[in-house]
Amino acid sequence: MDVGSVIQFTSSESVEKPMDRIEINYRALLAVTVVLNSQRDMHSLWEAITAEITKVIPWARASVTQYDREADGFRFHVMATTMAQVVLQRDAIVPRIGSGMGWAYDQKTLHIRPDLTRHQVFLEDQWYVQEGLGRMINLPLLIGDRCLGILNIGSIESGAPDPGDLEFLTQVAMQIAYAIDHVQAYEQIDRLRDQLAKENVYLTEELKLTKNIDSLVGKSLAFRHVIGLAHDVAPTPSTVFITGETGTGKELIAQAIHDWSPRHSKPMVRVNCAAFPAGLVESELFGHERGAFTGADHAREGRFELAHGGSLFLDEIGEMPLETQAKLLRVLQDGMVDRLGGKQPVRVDVRVIAATNSDLPAAVKDGAFRADLFYRLNVFPIGLPPLRNRPEDIPILARHFLQQYCVKLRRSCKDIDQESLERLIRYTWPGNVRELENVIERAMILSHEPVLRIDEHILGSQDSAFTASPPADLKDLEQRHILQTLTLTNWHIEGPDGAAVRLGIAPSTLRSRMKQFGMKRPPSS
């Protein structure tokens, strides 16, 4: 028996015998249930309900509405009608207060208006009368004590509905409720699976970076000052602003602050603000709803939501587009994220750590960066010194990377020869610590000796296009030269191999210069 052909006789006007009608109804209901339960997203479910509902309900008007919390009303997601005039269109919203849908939703029970032409009980009834309806039934879509929406059935006839039809409508409402609940659960699982996959990526990256935190080694005053600041700010919720040249270790310091904070059990999510096109930065940061833009076929959480309870590291913040800066400022001010295409803001608890290698005060003056955002970010600034200003740390770092790459490259190199160390100290390191690591790795690939030698061709020429910018003045040049010489001589001032002889000045003059520049011998040097 063809379901689509027989169910047209399921109304009270049916000429079928009662038992025949019951059998036809439930066969139809079974067929529709299979269709509804095969859907995996709400969009396809609404389309399926729209297509199938008229097969099992031969009434003049059938619709499914859901409660919209923001509008405090009911939105039509499904509507099928045979009426020539339709006042309430799909996507229309009917207020909860004063409507039959609202009554059925609040009371969690059905409501029947048998004669709309004589008694218009609720505010939407006048619109039904305009359409030509004589009877309306509102059935709540219930799962336990939860109401997922309302099935609204209208007829051109007046009078009480047939008890058999009413029982059948109740069963239809139950199956629609199960289908909606099933799809919502499926979508939630999809969202959680997607979120877990993304968090796994972030956590994997975090694990890799955590392993590299050991690169935070050094004994210079400048380095110890940075570490001290990181330890001081880590327990607080304050925003941290890290500045420094490329390769100075801004991301490592950010990771250390996160790891030393009460948020360490939650992920630190990273965003390179320069890595995304201007049109995608907002979606990455704040997320989007389905249909927010072309290609947005499902809702997606942004990096702020993924970092909830943890930290968000905004690298190269100076590259963020101006229009995105305004939205970021709001998040920092009130802790609320607006998804693209979203209607309800999402509250997030995120500790923001920003970093840049550019001159943001200059960008503020030029109008390329918002002044209010800069001051909001610059709560606790940490400036990372370039490697050329901490030459006493170069041998320590070089030997640290030597040990790392001995394991990675399966080499048995034990040390770096003194001449190579002096060459490393004299170099200006435009790429800072990252460049030093690359040099050690490159030298170890080429070397098969127990003591590592680093020649000029491995190190590169200081005259290359990547050489660091010259010192600001002669005083800076003198200070750097003295510090490098002291490091080479292991802070020995006097004697034939002392720093004074190498500099060509008297030991007393050198001590005077050291006092002037605030230079002190590092511990255990």
Alpha-carbon 480 to chain mean position: 43
Q: Residue 97: which pLDDT band, with cuts at 50, 70 and 90?
A: very high
* Better pLDDT: 53 or 267: 267
Residue type, 220: S
Statement: residue 460 has pLDDT above 70: no
What is the per-residue pLDDT across 268-311, written as a single tens digit (0 to 9) for each? 888 888 877 766 778 788 887 776 666 666 677 888 888 899 99
| pLDDT category of residue 26 using cuts at 50, 70 and 90 | low
Give the pLDDT of residue 16.
46
Alpha carbon of residue 142 to chain centroid = 34
Instruction: Give the pLDDT of residue 22.
Output: 61
Would you call 12 exposed, middle or buried from its count of C-beta atoms within 10 A (0-12, 13-18, 19+)?
Answer: middle
Domain with 426 in it: what CATH number?
Answer: 1.10.8.60
Q: What is the pLDDT at residue 341?
A: 77
Instruction: Give the CATH number for residue 124.
Output: 3.30.450.40
CA distance 91 to 95: 13
pLDDT band, very low/low/confident/very high, at 19 (cuts 50, 70, 90): low
**Is the confidence at residue 184, as pLDDT, over 60?**
yes
For residue 452, the model assigns a pLDDT of 92
Residues 272 and 334 in one domain: yes
- pLDDT at residue 187 tops 80: no
Residue 210 belongs to a domain: no
Sign, Cα dihedral of 412, 418, 423, 427: positive
Model confidence over 40-83: pLDDT tens digits? 677 777 777 777 766 666 678 888 898 888 889 999 887 878 88
Distance (Å, rounded) from C-alpha 257 to C-alpha 259? 6
Q: Is the model's pLDDT at 2 over the cut of 50? A: no
Residue 331 has pLDDT above 50, yes or no: yes
> DSSP per residue over 408-441, as a string?
HHT----EE-HHHHHHHHHS--TTHHHHHHHHHH
Find tokens 């905004």 and name the residue: 314
Residue 59: predicted pLDDT: 79
Per-residue pLDDT tens for 189-210? 777 676 666 666 555 555 545 4
234 plus 380 within the same structural domain:
yes
Burial 91-113 (b: 16+ CB within 10 A, else e): ebebebeebbbbbbbeeeebbeb
In the predicted structure, residue 465 carries a pLDDT above the cut 50: no
The DSSP secondary-structure symbol of 469 reads P
Q: Which of 324, 358, 385 is the last residue of a domain?
A: 385
Residues 179, 287: one domain? Answer: no
Does some domain include residue 158? yes
Q: Give the DSSP H or E segment for 95.
A: strand 93-95
**Interatomic CA distance for residues 38 and 183, integer angstroms:** 9
Is 249 exposed, middle or buried (CB count within 10 Å of its CB: 0-12, 13-18, 19+)?
Answer: buried
Based on the domain organization, do 249 and 349 belong to the same domain? yes
Task: Compute the residue count for the chain.
Answer: 525
Q: Quote the pLDDT of residue 4.
A: 32
Say how many CA atoms lie within 13 Å of 439 toward its Cβ: 31
**Least confident stretch, 206-215, 373-382, 495-504:** 206-215
Alpha helices in 220-319 (DSSP H): 221-233, 250-259, 278-286, 303-306
Count: domains in the chain: 4
At residue 239, does pLDDT exceed 90?
yes
Residue 208 placed within a domain: no
- The tens digit of pLDDT for each residue in 396-454 reads 999 999 998 998 888 888 899 999 999 999 898 988 998 999 999 999 988 888 899 99
Q: Is residue 123 part of a domain?
A: yes
pLDDT at 318 over 80: yes
Same domain, 39 and 142: yes
At 349, list the tokens: 């608890």
- Which of residues 360, 385, 410 is at a domain's end? 385
The reply to whether 241 and 377 lie within a common domain is: yes
Average pLDDT over residues 175-180: 86
Q: Are 437 and 444 in contact (CB under 8 A)?
A: no
Q: Is 277 inside a domain boundary?
A: yes
Task: Write 439-447 long-range contacts (CB < 8 A, 24+).
Answer: 440/398, 440/401, 440/402, 440/405, 441/401, 441/405, 441/409, 444/402, 444/405, 444/406, 444/409, 444/411, 444/413, 445/409, 447/411, 447/413
Residue 317 has pLDDT above 90, yes or no: yes
| Together in a domain, 14 and 56 | yes
Rg (CA), the chain: 36
Q: Are residues 175 and 302 in the same domain?
A: no
Angle at 281 between CA 280 and CA 286, to 5 degrees: 105
What is the percentage of the chain residues whose pLDDT exceeds 90?
A: 35
| Residue 254 banded pLDDT, cuts 50, 70, 90 | very high
Structure-token pair, residue 219: 């004994």
Residues 375 and 403 reside in one and the same domain: no
Kindly tell me if the per-residue pLDDT of 7 is higher than 50: no
pLDDT 10s digits, 470-512: 444 556 667 777 887 787 777 888 887 788 777 777 777 788 7
In this structure, what CATH number is given to the domain that contains residue 519?
1.10.10
**Residue-averaged pLDDT of the chain:** 81
Helices vs strands, H then E, count in the chain:
20, 15
Per-residue confidence (pLDDT) for residue 215, from 0 to 100 = 61
Higher pLDDT, 162 or 372: 372
Write the DSSP string, 104-133: HHHHTS-EEES-TTT---STTHHHHHHHT-
Long-range contacts of 499-508 (CB under 8 A, 24+ apart): none
248 lies in a domain?
yes
Q: Looking at the predicted structure, is the pLDDT value of residue 314 above 80? A: yes
Contact 461, 426 (CB under 8 A): no
pTM (two decimals): 0.55
Q: Is the pLDDT of residue 113 over 60?
A: yes
User: Are residues 405 and 380 located together in one domain of the fold?
Assistant: no
Helices (H), 287-338: 303-306, 322-334
* Helix, strand or coil, per DSSP, at residue 67: strand
* Together in a domain, 63 and 137: yes
Q: Are residues 292 and 434 in the same domain?
A: no
Which domain CATH number covers 335? 3.40.50.300
Structure tokens at 10: 């399921």
Range of the structural domain that residue 433 is part of: 397-469
Check residue 477 and give its pLDDT: 66
Last residue of a domain, one of 354, 385, 416: 385
DSSP-derived secondary structure letter, 35: H
Question: Which helix (DSSP H) or strand (DSSP E) does residue 166 occupy?
Answer: helix 163-211
- Is 322 part of any domain? yes
